[in-house]
Amino acid sequence: MIGIMIACSLLLLLSWLMYEMGRQSINTQEDTIEEKLAYLFDPGTCRQTKKQKLCAQIGDLAQQLQISSTANQNLAEEMKSLASENDQLKEQLEFFQRLIASNTKNGISIYQFSLKETQTPGEYRYALTLIQGGERPNDFKGNLRFTVKLTQNDQSKVIPLTKKNQQLDFPVIFKFFHRMEELFKVPPNSIVENIQVEIFRNDNNKAILSETIQPAL
Instruction: Give pLDDT tens digits for 84-115.
Output: 777 777 776 676 666 655 555 668 889 889 99
Can you give the pLDDT at residue 116?
A: 95
- Percent of the chain with pLDDT strictly greater than 90: 33
Query: Longest C-alpha distance within the chain, in Å?
Result: 142
Contact 136, 130 (CB under 8 A): no
Instruction: Tell which wins on pLDDT, 164 or 128.
Output: 128
CB-CB neighbours of 22 under 10 Å: 10
Can you give the pLDDT at residue 63?
A: 75
Contact 62, 69 (CB under 8 A): no
The amino acid occupying position 75 is L
Question: How many CA atoms are closer than 13 Å to the CA of 56, on its beta-carbon side?
Answer: 7
Q: Using a cut of 0.85, tell me whether the model's pTM lies above it.
A: no
